[in-house]
Amino acid sequence: MLNALILLLGIVILVASIGFGILLPAARTAGVASPRNVTPGKVAPVRGRHVALGVLGSFIGGLLVIVGAAAPFVEVPAGNVGVLMNFGQVQAGTLEPGLHIVTPIVQHVAYVDTRVQPHQFQEIDAASKEYQTVKLTGTMNYHVDGQYASDLYQRVGTDFASKVIDPAFNDYIKAVVPTYTVDSILGARDEIRSKAKEALAVNLAQYHIIVDDIYIANISFSDSFQQAIEQKQVAQQQVQTEQQVLAQKQIQAQQAVVAAQGQADAQVALAKGQAQSNDLVNSSLSDKVLQYQLINKLSDKINVMLVPSGNGFILDLKSLTGSSPSPSAAP
């Protein structure tokens, strides 16, 4: 930006100096010196002072144009470092963010981003422990160690993601996935991610690339195996449904057994209670009690009671009840 401003300022000064300091005074001098305007005995005045100023301004403007075009000022953006090169040869050290002056033509600056950046891995085809095809994709967050950015730029360049990161991740995944069975890979997603982060951190440290984190975006299998997994899941769901129905029926059967047992126990308890009641009644009965009960059951209108022959007594109901005596009947 500063170089562009200097270049623009130089062009303005150069054009103004040439126009107003050289061309315009020269045109006025030529107009005065024309035969029609020349008075006999007089010489057309030459504006030497304006021409000198125009030449000086043109020189300054041209110098500014050259400086602006040469771009000696370099501004390293925030979050980046500058790699300085002399005629293409990478120099040790880096330029921190800010304004720097370099030697035009001789020196050139390349920028390396040191902020945390995401990198999308290419889809990787690997094989499980049973040689089933496993496709895996992921994302890595990383940043470059700015202190050693010049070494990374010299050894790899700015396209280090495709040259260094992708091959390292590809190699690791193809080495670690075969240690898992196909049905355990999905459950081991976090474990694979953690191991991949450690392995890549060690591998990429030699290039001064720091691994911040790795995310496993997707794990998929071949179409035939995917269909087999879906069928297995459907079958498992059906089995679970049948087990739930069976468990429900077993619970209902157990409830019916408990209800029947409770009813039987209730009947047994009722029978025992009745038997105990009968025993108590039988133990409390006597002849007088029976006679008393019999009398209470007889009607008040009955005054004479006939007993079968062979009995040696006549029962006077009124005497037993406290009434006046009545004639007795004999067999």
Question: Model-level pTM greater than 0.85?
Answer: no
The pLDDT value given to residue 70? 66
The pLDDT value given to residue 43? 42
Q: How sure is the predictor about 23, in pLDDT bands with cuts at 50, 70 and 90?
A: low
**Class of 117-221 per CATH?**
alpha beta
Q: For residues 69 and 5, give the distance between their C-alpha atoms in angstroms, rounded to a whole number.
A: 10
Q: Which of 70-79, 252-261, 283-292 has the lowest mean pLDDT?
A: 283-292
Q: What is the mean pLDDT of residues 296-311?
A: 60
Q: How sure is the predictor about 3, in pLDDT bands with cuts at 50, 70 and 90?
A: low
Q: How sure is the predictor about 27, in pLDDT bands with cuts at 50, 70 and 90?
A: low
Q: How sure is the predictor about 115, in pLDDT bands with cuts at 50, 70 and 90?
A: very high
Q: Where are the domains of the chain?
A: 1-71, 117-221, 224-284, 287-321
Q: For residues 156 and 54, give the distance between their C-alpha atoms in angstroms, rounded to a whole number.
A: 52
Q: What is the mean pLDDT of residues 53-69?
A: 74
Structure-token pair, residue 143 = 């940043």
Burial of 100 (0-12, 13-18, 19+ CB in 10 A): middle
Q: How sure is the predictor about 298, in pLDDT bands with cuts at 50, 70 and 90?
A: low
Q: How sure is the predictor about 245, in pLDDT bands with cuts at 50, 70 and 90?
A: confident
Q: What is the mean pLDDT of residues 260-282?
A: 79
Q: How sure is the predictor about 142, in pLDDT bands with cuts at 50, 70 and 90?
A: very high
Q: What is the mean pLDDT of residues 268-289?
A: 74
Mean pLDDT of the chain: 76
Of the candidates 56, 82, 61, 83, the residue with the CA atom closest to the CA atom of residue 10: 61
Is the pLDDT at 328 greater than 50? The verdict is no
Q: Where are the beta strands (DSSP E) in the chain?
A: 73-76, 80-86, 89-90, 98-101, 107-113, 117-120, 124-127, 133-144, 209-221
Is the pLDDT at 107 greater than 50? The verdict is yes
Question: Which tens digits make up the pLDDT trace of 80-100?
Answer: 999 988 888 888 888 888 888
DSSP string, 152-219: HHHHT-S-HIIIIIHHHHHHHHHHHGGGS-TTTTTTTHHHHHHHHHHHHHHHHGGGTEEEEEEEEEEE
At residue 317's C-alpha, the angle toward residues 311 and 321, to 5°, is 140
Give phi and psi for 186, each to the nearest 5.
-60, -40
Is the pLDDT at 206 greater than 80? The verdict is yes
Q: What is the mean pLDDT of residues 104-114?
A: 86
- Is pLDDT larger for residue 54 or for residue 116? 116
Q: How sure is the predictor about 217, in pLDDT bands with cuts at 50, 70 and 90?
A: confident
Q: How sure is the predictor about 186, in pLDDT bands with cuts at 50, 70 and 90?
A: confident
Q: What is the mean pLDDT of residues 16-34?
A: 62
